[in-house]
Structure 1
Amino acid sequence: MWPELIATLPDAAPPASESALAACAAALGHPLPADLTGLLAAADGITGEYGTGLVWSAERIAAENLALRGGAGFAELYMPFDPLVFFGETGGGDLFALLARVDRPDVFVWDHETDSRTWVARSLADYLERSVSGALDL
């Protein structure tokens, strides 16, 4: 599924190595969601039309999530981020996420101003297709 979808996307990186995926999961302390692992194994990051990270690389996923989970300032302002795996951005400060430890394919967007976490897509593939087509309503 991923190779066909990636072929339609604007700017996809080469596949992530198994060691990069393992390092990401180890840094987070839990496995990546299966869909995200599959996508990263096909493309280690996808850049959107204006340079936004539709899907970050495995390395950036680990770094961004660790920064958000470990930041003392974030803990005072926001609900915990541990249930989420952030993987991409809107370009305006809000971030896209999957659930970290629940086998559910839905994609959510986290609003950095209100701390809301809103459902936006039924799967990672749906998120990508709708992002590229402009049909993702935020």
Structure 2
Amino acid sequence: MWKEAAARALPDVAFRAPVAATVLAEAEQRLGRSCPAQLTELLLETDGIVGEDETDVVWSLDRIVEQNLLFWAPDTFPGLYMPFDPLLFFGDNGGGDQFAFVLTPERPDIFVWDHETDSRLWAARELEDYLHRSLAGDGDWWS
């Protein structure tokens, strides 16, 4: 389902091998929280999605864990940015801006974090909408 949705937006999109359910469970344990249902379904189908110019529209599970643990650590960006705890980052635009689900309160919407201004802007209503917009869009499609 997720591969088909991505391919509708960009026919030459690249996929990785799927994540095993046990590996996903271990990653969620490391994170200390569950991944949103849509992201879980996607990762069980493909361990990330690569768009044009090798942009990681959806990161691999390893990168999702690594990046979020870094951003959630209290000493990573002391006083520089608003807290990242309510967000689960899962992809980027290749230019530094990152995309995230909101975990608290849980909702299907995707937000973009602008790394230069620390703003968090609504980008898509759910993961399939995000895939379509990010793979078919040009530049800063969310603004």
Is the pair's TM-score, using the shorter chain for normalization, greater than 0.5? yes
Distance 1:73 1:125 in 2: 31
Q: In structure 2, what is the equivalent of residue 78 of structure 1?
A: 81
Distance in structure 1 (CA, Å) of the matches to 2:103 and 2:78: 18
Deviations 1:64-99 (CA, angstroms, capped at 9, x unpaired): 101111162413201111100000011111100001
- Once the two structures are TM-superposed, the CA of residue 20 in structure 1 deviates from its matched residue by 2.1
- Supply the AA of the counterpart residue of 1:36: L
Name the counterpart of 1:102: 105
Cα distance in 2 for partners of 1:19, 1:72 equals 30
**Aligned position for 2:115:** 112
Count of residue pairs brought into register by the alignment: 138
TM-score (norm 2): 0.88
Deviating beyond 6 angstroms after TM superposition, the runs of 4 or more aligned structure 1 residues are none
Quote the offset at 1:7 in angstroms: 4.3
Secondary structure at the aligned position of 1:86 is classed as strand
Structure 1: gaps (5+ residues)? none
Task: Give RMSD over aligned pairs.
Answer: 1.6
**2:49 is the alignment partner of 1:39:** no
2:90 is matched with 87
Match of 2:4 in 1: 4
Contact 2:6-2:132 within 8 A present in 1 as well: no
Identify which of structures 1 and 2 has the higher relative contact order when contacts are C-alpha pairs closer than 8 Å and 6+ apart.
Answer: 2
Which secondary structure does the structure 2 equivalent of 1:75 belong to?
A: coil
For normalisation by structure 1, the TM-score amounts to 0.91
CA distance in 1, matches of 2:31, 2:107: 18
